[in-house]
Structure 1
Amino acid sequence: MASIFGHGLVAYTTSKVIDSRSSKLLLLLAIISAIIPDIDVLAFNFRIPYSHPFGHRGFTHSILFAIIWSASLALYFGKNRKLIFSIVIFLSTISHGILDAMTNGGKGVGFFIPFDNTRYFFSFREIIVSPIGVENFFSEWGMHVIISELKYIAVPCLILLAVIFYVKNRN
């Protein structure tokens, strides 16, 4: 998986690209939504195998989960901006699986669970997989993850945000 920092930055960027006047609530929901798919690491505590549909990188990383999650949050929190909330939250949630499919570790992402349990990676797999657990993150491995995410996540996000800022302030 990419780290929570990488996932959160993509969600922040997504919300600003889709809706430059994103409310604090939408930003918070987007960031939470980009991180929530990793709730499935709890499956390890219940001895649910990685390859199981509810194993790590399984259902909570799927397109169906992103649809259900985003629709639920948009209906509850979106008020008169349900469509914008739904789009931002969906893209933030699905971005988690997309980033994970670009890492160099794990066993792939179950984008199509429950219809197909196949796990997928993208051909671009340059993001160094983040260790599971805070104690393992503050290590040499964690430093390599941060450098990788700066290169492949932060720089593209910052460029996109700069362009949005420039265009917004130009008008």
Structure 2
Amino acid sequence: MSHAAIPIAGALMLGRERLSVPVIVTGIAFAMLPDADVIGFGYGIDYAASWGHRGATHSLLFAAISALVATALIRPEKYLAAGLFLFVAMASHGLLDTLTNGGLGAALFWPWSDVRHFASSTPIAVSPIGVANFLSDRGLKVLQSEAIWIWTPLVIVTLPVWIIRSRSR
């Protein structure tokens, strides 16, 4: 659920002068989009397959191609800022997943490697798959973990930048 925090923080820090509303909204969607790969379970795609959960859609290449296509379609005033924002928004998903304490890791370097990666430290509680499973005691523990390891650091970094930018206007 906290994947959207990265582009929200980025948008607050960069501001509307650099990012349009369509770019910000696309970035928030991009941050969550890689998990759409769970629909593959219903089609018999194995978790560990290239197109399984945390596979190709969690790769840096998928993020780069998606950012390029979206930037071309949105046609923002500031192509470079928008493209980088969208890339970071989607790439952050796989990178955050490497910090979780469960699952198979993320295939960051697909298609060159199907190896699933974890960070050297995995402090974030892995989220259960499915809304029903998320609305449970385990889901509450995940939210607490994400508040500590994702939201708190982002607030610490974002708030001063946002205050400085607000005062300079």
TM-score band, normalised by shorter chain: over 0.9
Q: Which residue of 2 aligns with 1:51?
A: 48
Q: Is the 8 A contact 1:131 1:142 kept in 2?
A: yes
Q: Which residue of 1 aligns with 2:115?
A: 118
Q: Which residue of 2 aligns with 1:63?
A: 60
Q: Is the 8 A contact 2:31 2:90 kept in 1?
A: yes
SS of the aligned residue for 2:78 comes to: helix
Q: Which residue of 2 aligns with 1:166?
A: 163
Q: Is the 8 A contact 1:78 1:85 kept in 2?
A: no
Structure 1: any 5+ residue segments left out of the alignment?
A: none
| Whole-angstrom distance in 2 between the partners of 1:164 and 1:26 | 20
Q: Which residue of 1 aligns with 2:31?
A: 34
Written as runs of structure 1 = structure 2, the 5 A alignment for 1:131-150 is 131-150=128-147
Q: Is the 8 A contact 2:63 2:87 kept in 1?
A: yes
Q: Which residue of 2 aligns with 1:76?
A: 73
Letter in 2 for 1:47: G
Q: Say if 2:88 is the partner of 1:99.
A: no
Letter in 2 for 1:10: I
Give the CA deviation at 1:170.
Answer: 3.7
Q: Which residue of 2 aligns with 1:8?
A: 4
| Whole-angstrom distance in 1 between the partners of 2:80 and 2:12 | 15
Comparing 76-85 and 31-40, the one that deviates more: 76-85
Letter in 1 for 2:8: Y
Q: Provide the identity percentage.
A: 35
| Whole-angstrom distance in 2 between the partners of 1:95 and 1:79 | 21
| Whole-angstrom distance in 1 between the partners of 2:25 and 2:78 | 15
Structure 2: any 5+ residue segments left out of the alignment?
A: none
Give the CA deviation at 1:24.
Answer: 2.1
Give the CA deviation at 1:135.
Answer: 0.8
| Whole-angstrom distance in 2 between the partners of 1:150 and 1:137 | 15
Runs of 4+ that moved beyond 3 A: none
Aligned residues: 166
Change (3 A) 1:161 1:131: same
TM value normalised by structure 2: 0.94
| Whole-angstrom distance in 1 between the partners of 2:166 and 2:10 | 19
Q: Which residue of 2 aligns with 1:20?
A: 15
